[in-house]
Chain A
Amino acid sequence: MSKHDEHHTLGHVMPASTLINVFLALIVLTVVTVAVAQKDLGPLNVWVALFIASIKGSIVCAYFMHLKYDKKLNLLIFGISVVLVLIMITFTIVDSHFYYNNIDSYQQSETFQAAKAAAASSAAK
């Protein structure tokens, strides 16, 4: 190992100005998301909130967490984990629309009401 390496700083040093700018951007986006939420956009509410949160999340990853300057492998690891969560959510949501009426109708059903009454009476004894 050369003498030069001995004093070489490991990793990427984030400039102070960048850190402060990122912080300000995050605060501004927080204000925006609160302000937008005061208006009722109907079903768009969720998507707008998620969109802003995703921007905030990406900024945190890129600068505070150094991902923009890091080895690409780390970005890949993190990206795959996010993609897998999205796959998990999408598949289960799509599927749930098909079967949810069964759960709701179960709760209205006589079977369930009878079972509940039986449970209540056995608890009372």
Chain B
Amino acid sequence: MAGEVSLNGSMHGTHDHVGGNYLNATKGLKSWLLTLDHKRIGIMYLVSVCIALALGGTFALLLRTKLLHGGYTPEAAAFIGSSKDYNQWMTLHGAVMVFLFMIPAIPAAFGNFVLPMMLGAKDVAFPKLNLFSYYLYFTGTVMFLVVLVMGGLDTGWTMYAPYSIVHSKTAVPYATLAVFILGFSSILTGLNFIATIHKLRPKGMTPFRMPLFLWAIYATSVIQVLATPVIGILTFMLFIEKIMGIGFFNPALGGDPLLFQHLFWFYSHPAVYIMVLPAMGVINEVIPTFSRKPIFGYKMMAFSSLAIAFIGFVVWGHHLFVSGQSPFANVAFSAITLTVAVPSAIKVFNWVSTMYKGDIHFTTPMMYALFFIYLFAIGGLTGIFLTALPGNIHTHDTYFVIAHFHFVMVGAVIFGFLAGLNYWWPKITGKLYNNKAGVLGSVLIFLGFNLTFLPQFVMGLKGMPRRYANYAQEFEIYHQLSTAGAYLLGVGFLTVLLYLLASLAKGKKAPSNPWGAASLDWQSTSPPHMHNFEKTPLMGDPYDYSLVSHDEKTGGYVRKPGEGSSAHH
């Protein structure tokens, strides 16, 4: 091989012997925009999804404000925006939150940052592909902004045919393209993580010695790779159908509208687990760390993540119970969906058991984790009402469904995301934040969340349908409570933003391991070195907290030397 021209200068030999940490090792905008470093790409995702969260949240506040008054008098109907505006806000709130925030939030932001570090690796398996995924995400986001300019979207985030192809006058083709592109971003991220987890584990780190966050990310990635292509082809068909006058899903042209729903939910139900599994992964790290106890039932946790992922593929029909789906399929999908409750319940049981007799520290991430369990339990139990066919027919397309999935999925993502953000913040930025402000923020968000969505359970059961811009007077009190909750939620998010900005500006320097966690990522400096670790980290059980001891000098924890082998690859 000697004497041949090196093609991949960047891949070979250079070994970037950089000093300092990943934030200041190289400078300039270009060093960020073209970075192949998983940590910087993670940060770019983090900033992007936070902007998406703010955008989706703004739409939520607009639609909740509109619903402050029922439209039973003309004055009230004209309170803010028209019903058409409402349709747009409702759609864009859903679409932005699902595609731009919840799906990439935890895996793309924290997964990118933490996953290679938990493996003691230098990067993900395919760094260039990783950057490419980010730019696909970026392009998809820009496409969504184009949608806003080109007449918005009023189809609901589900874009059901034939309404979206025949009747909607809004920018449906742009939206389908955006979803198509975002889908590929998601696929490539998942692909990258699976290859990384398989091939970049250090010698001696068997699958069952990985932190559970990695199991969660792995299960998520499997869904991303195997389910997302279906929504890719579906949005592509919708796009072609719209511009070329084909009628795959239009009964007036011999098409089949239910087929659209089948294909749509073949992706979009598993997508729920793309959102919720990584959040569970974060909770798996936070709860044992702040209970100072190993996680209860490690293997059950690992397998339940995989079980949720695989069962999730065969339950999509529960979204079609009243769409004209056959009674046979209704019964089958109802029964299979109920089985999802088993692995979900195992997780809740194990989190609670981990805390049992633990030395619980009420830090900000732990607060979010505790709230997470509460939200997930309520969301999960109301899911059983919805899975059971009779209950579903009563509550189908009512606010009960809205409240259910906001508790189980949105609550999970937001609280998991904030738990992760507060947990890894010192590692990512090298700064500590004010824990009192953090706890205050978490309590505000928790109260706001409950005030927003608990009344929705009630009005849903009383028959308030979802997606309506208008309602009968009897529902007004619930809507007003809900709107008040939405604003409280907004105040909570502002609190979080403020104390994190304050931490960036003048936070105390964070020690390497401020929480006393035992996984490998905490053995790097805060913020980490450009290549993650200055010294090869010492392996050990990721939940064995006797491996670390408190260090008076830095105020953090240090790994006890000599125990465990080095994480060589």
A contact residues vs B (CB 8 Å cutoff): 73, 80-81, 84, 87-88, 91-92, 94-100, 102-103, 106-107, 112, 115-116
Q: How far is the CA of A116 from the CA of B252 in the complex (A)?
A: 8
Contacting pair A99 B326 (CB below 8 A): yes
Interface segment out of the listed B146-154, B254-262, B274-282, B287-295: B254-262
Number of interface residues, chain B, beta carbon within 8 A = 21
Q: Which residues of B contact A87 (CB under 8 A)?
A: 313-314
CB distance from B511 to the nearest CB of A (A): 37
Residue B341 at the chain A interface, CB threshold 8 Å: no
From B251, B259, B313, B328, A107 is in contact (CB under 8 Å) with B251
B230 touches A95 (CB 8 A): no
Contact residues in B for A107 (Cβ distance below 8 Å): 251-252, 254
Report the Cα distance A123→B230, complex, angstroms. 35
Which of these, B226, B256, B327, contacts A96 with CB under 8 Å?
A: B256
- The complex places the Cα of A98 from the Cα of B323 at a distance, in Å, of 12
Q: Which residues of A contact B325 (CB under 8 A)?
A: 95, 98-99
Complex CA distance for A117 and B2, rounded to whole angstroms: 77
Interface membership of chain B positions 311-339, coded 1 if the CB is closer than 8 angstroms to chain A and 0 otherwise: 00110010000001111110000000000
B417 CB–A CB distance under 8 Å: no
Which residue of the partner chain, among A73, A91, A98, contacts B262 with CB atoms under 8 Å? Answer: A91
B30 part of interface (Cβ distance < 8 Å): no
Give the distance in Å from the alpha carbon of A16 to the alpha carbon of B254 in the complex.
50
- Asked if B266 is at the interface of the complex by the 8 Å CB criterion, the answer is yes
Pull 25 A–B residue pairs with CB atoms less than 8 Å apart, ordered by A.
Answer: A84-B226, A88-B262, A88-B266, A91-B262, A91-B317, A92-B259, A95-B258, A95-B262, A95-B325, A95-B329, A96-B256, A97-B326, A98-B325, A98-B326, A98-B328, A99-B258, A99-B324, A99-B325, A99-B326, A100-B256, A103-B251, A103-B256, A107-B252, A112-B251, A116-B252
The distance in angstroms between the C-alpha atoms of A2 and B251, with both chains bound, is 66
User: Does B553 lie at the interface of the complex (its beta carbon under 8 Å from any beta carbon of A)?
Assistant: no
Judge if B198 is at the interface, Cβ distance under 8 Å.
yes
Min CB gap B225→A, angstroms:
8
Shortest Cβ gap from A39 to chain B (Å):
30
Chain B, residue nearest A100 (CB)? B256
- Separation of A7 and B248 alpha carbons in the complex (Å): 55
CB distance from A104 to the nearest CB of B (A): 9
A112 and B326 contact, Cβ closer than 8 Å, known pairs A81-B226, A84-B226, A95-B262? no
Looking at the assembled complex, report how far the CB atom of B70 sits from the nearest CB atom of chain A, in whole angstroms: 32
Contact partners of B327 in chain A: CB under 8 A:
98
B254 touches A95 (CB 8 A): no
CA distance A103 to B259 in the complex (A): 11
In Å, the complex CA distance between A58 and B105 comes to 39
Cα A81 to Cα B226 with chains together (Å): 7
Q: What's the least CB distance linking A76 to chain B, in Å? A: 11
B147-198 contacts to A, CB under 8 A, are 198
What is the CA–CA distance of A93 and B547 in the complex, to the nearest angstrom? 56
Q: A81-B226, A84-B313, A102-B324 are in contact. Are A96 and B252 (CB under 8 A)?
A: no
- How distant is the Cα of A102 from the Cα of B258 in the complex, in angstroms? 11
Shortest beta-carbon distance from B507 to chain A in Å: 44
On whether the beta carbons of A94 and B326 are closer than 8 Å, the reply is yes
3 smallest beta-carbon distances between A and B, as pairs: A98-B326, A95-B329, A92-B262
A2 to B263, CA, bound (A): 52
Residues on the B chain within 8 Å of A97, using CB? 326
> Bound complex: CA of A95 vs CA of B325, how far in Å?
6
Do A106 and B251 touch (CB < 8 A)?
A: yes
Q: With both chains docked as a complex, state the minimum distance between the C-beta of A7 and any C-beta of chain B, in angstroms.
A: 10
Residues of chain A contacted by B198 (CB below 8 angstroms): 73
Q: Cα distance A107–B326 when bound, in Å?
A: 20
- Residue ID in chain A nearest B326 by CB atoms: A98
Give the residue among A91, A106, A115, A116 with the most B Cβ atoms within 10 A. Answer: A91
State how many angstroms separate the Cβ of B249 from the closest Cβ of chain A.
11
Query: Please, which residues of chain B bring their CB within 8 A of the CB of A115?
Result: 252
Min Cβ gap A110→B in Å is 14
Bound-complex Cα distance A22 to B259 (A): 38
Cβ–Cβ < 8 Å partners of B326 in chain A:
94-95, 97-99
Residue of A nearest to B166 (CB): A119
In Å, the complex CA distance between A95 and B226 comes to 22
Q: How far is the CA of A124 from the CA of B262 in the complex (A)?
A: 36
Q: Across the interface, do A96 and B258 meet the contact criterion of CB distance under 8 Å?
A: yes
> Beta-carbon contacts of B224-235 to A below 8 Å, as 1s and 0s?
001000100000
How far, in Å, is B321 (CB) from chain A's closest CB?
12
Q: Are A88 and B230 in contact (CB under 8 A)?
A: yes
B residues 347-385 touching A (CB-CB < 8 Å)? none
Q: Is the CB of A91 within 8 A of B329?
A: yes
A97 and B259 alpha carbons, distance in the complex (Å)? 12
In angstroms, Cα B265 to Cα A88, docked, is 11
Given A81-B226, A95-B329; A112-B252 close (CB under 8 Å): yes
Complex Cα–Cα for A94 and B325 (A): 10
User: Smallest distance from the beta carbon of A73 to chain B beta carbons, Å?
Assistant: 7
Residues of A within 8 A of B259 (CB): 92, 96
Give A88 to B259 CA distance when docked, in angstroms: 11
Please, which residues of chain B bring their CB within 8 A of the CB of A91?
A: 262, 314, 317, 329
Are A94 and B329 within 8 A (Cβ)?
A: yes
Chain A residues near B328: list those with CB within 8 A.
94-95, 98
Cα of A96 to Cα of B266 in the assembled complex, Å: 15
List, in ascending order, chain A residues with CB within 8 A of B263's CB: 88, 92
Closest chain A residue, CB of each to CB of B230 = A88
Give Cα A92 to B258, complex, Å: 9
Closest approach, in angstroms, between the C-beta of A111 and any C-beta of chain B?
Answer: 11
A112: B residues at CB distance < 8 A: 251-252
Measured CB to CB, the closest approach of chain A to B107, in angstroms, equals 19
CA distance A84 to B309 in the complex (A): 13
